[in-house]
Amino acid sequence: MYTSWLKPFQTPLLHFRRTSEIPKAIIHKSHIVLPIGAAHPTTGNDGITVTMSSFQKLTGDPLKLKTVSFTQNTPLDIEPYTRLFGTNLTFSQQENAFVFDSSVLNLPIIYRNQQLLQIVEDHAVQMIRALKLEQSFSEMISHAIIKKFDGTIPRIQDIASNLGYSVRSLQMQLKKDNTTFKDLLALIRKNMAESYLRNPHFSISDISYALGFSEPVAFHNAFKKWTGQTPGGYRKQI
């Protein structure tokens, strides 16, 4: 049986199995965007990158991967992959998967609200895909926002700094994509809100705080602006 930190990752997108003493995570092919662009390999590997990021939030330690396999053919430029996933990579495999040592299963959870984090991480990959953005720069910024979203609203200064841009240059690049950081953030929060409201186990109050709103009434007003419906009304029609 797996320890409690692993439970948030058991989703339709991702499942785990043991190979001898080595846990192996299998990412369903139908949920991987192929082919993966060499310049932005995370576009097709959200399952791995989100899980690695989530693991660190839950345990305080980075997830060290032993091997990573991909169904796609070997890309012309492998450097972006080695930078993200290490050097022990295999391509043209039967499944998208990553392998890690069983010792990590014994690490305790340090995140104070496991349930809310579970919902955030369960839907992170779906939210990225739901954005349906065509421009790679906008998509890259959206990835960065979602990975940074942990109940507090990511700031443009932090996203720009993490990606090596100035705030002004990031804004200018987004303008070329006919969008803004504010618009991307609003779209991500809207998609997250709709997903969370489909889960009856979470109150509207819990969801509002998970999305970074100071109080439920602020979430109520924002959601109505986004969709024309109240959170309660949206939930009733599901």
Domain boundaries, the chain: 4-106, 114-231
Instruction: Write the pLDDT tens digit of every residue in 215-238.
Output: 899 999 999 999 999 999 999 987
pLDDT value for 83: 77
Supply the DSSP string of 8-64, one letter for each residue.
Answer: GG-BTTEEEEEETTEEEEEE-GGGS-SSPPSS-GGGG-HHHHHHHHHHHHHHSS---
pLDDT value for 105: 67
CA pair distance 51, 90, nearest whole angstrom: 19
Q: How many Cβ atoms from other residues are within 10 Å of residue 3's Cβ?
A: 13
> Which CATH number describes the domain made up of 114-231?
1.10.10.60
Q: Strands 89-90, 65-69: parallel, antiparallel or unpaired by DSSP?
A: parallel
Enumerate residue ranges in the chain where pLDDT < 50.
1-4, 10-13, 23-44, 112, 130-135
Instruction: Write the pLDDT tens digit of every residue in 51-81.
Output: 666 666 666 677 777 788 887 788 888 887 7
178 Rama class: left (phi>0) / alpha (psi -120 to 50) / beta: left
Q: Angle at which helices 136-148 and 167-176 pack, to 10 degrees?
A: 130
Residue 66: C-alpha distances to residues 22, 85, 91 (Å) = 9, 9, 15
pLDDT value for 11: 45
CA pair distance 207, 119, nearest whole angstrom: 10
CA pair distance 63, 101, nearest whole angstrom: 9
Three-state DSSP string of 209-234:
HHCCCCCHHHHHHHHHHHHCCCHHHH
Selection from 95, 78, 94 nearest residue 86 by Cα: 78
Please, are residues 117 and 8 in contact by the beta-carbon 8 Å criterion?
yes
Please, are residues 190 and 196 in contact by the beta-carbon 8 Å criterion?
no
Whether cis (ω within 30° of 0) applies to the bond prior to 35 is yes
What are the backbone angles phi and psi of residue 11, rounded to the nearest 5°?
-135, 175
